[in-house]
Amino acid sequence: RKEVEQDPGPFNVPEGATVAFNCTYSNSASQSFFWYRQDCRKEPKLLMSVYSSGNEDGRFTAQLNRASQYISLLIRDSKLSDSATYLCVVTTGFQKLVFGTGTRLLVSP
């Protein structure tokens, strides 16, 4: 079983739609949680950290459920520029990031 599992997609949505991605992780000792975004043929970039209390950054909302070892990302009012691969990431110490395989999002006009 992979340490971090995501549905690879692609998720095809029209502009303005709301889309949600989920991720599960296997290591209960995981300490920190993130969503990174990777555009085609580019490097990953931090989108947002994920906290148990949930956090929001504009159109993006992230949630963490430690009991279920589950992380989610909600994108409201999708834009064309949101098309990318969204990587669920957990750390287990020494700043070792463990990446999911990513969920591909395609937003169409």
Partner 1 sequence: DTAVSQTPKYLVTQMGNDKSIKCEQNLGHDTMYWYKQDSKKFLKIMFSYNNKELIINETVPNRFSPKSPDKAHLNLHINSLELGDSAVYFCASSQMVAGSNEQFFGPGTRLTVL
Contacts with partner 1 by CB under 8 A lie at 32, 34, 42-46, 49, 85, 87, 91, 94-99, 101-102
The residues near 8 (Cβ < 8 Å, ≥ 6 apart) are 101, 102, 103, 104
C-beta of 24 vs 49, nearer to partner 1: 49
Q: Concatenated DSSP letters for 44-107?
A: EEEEEEE-TT-EEETTEEEEEETTTTEEEEEE-S--GGG-EEEEEEEE-STT-EEE---EEEEE
Closer residue to partner 1, CB minimum distance, 60 or 99: 99
Contact 18, 105 (CB under 8 A): no
Closer to partner 1 at the Cβ: 78 or 85? Answer: 85
Compare residues 74 and 97 and give the one whose CB is closer to partner 1.
97
The minimum distance between CB 94 and partner 1, in angstroms, equals 5
CB of 42 to partner 1, least distance (A): 7
- 64 CB burial (10 A radius; 0-12, 13-18, 19+): buried
Q: How far is the CB of 32 from partner 1 (least distance, A)?
A: 5
Instruction: State the nearest-atom distance from the C-beta of 80 to partner 1, in Å.
Output: 21
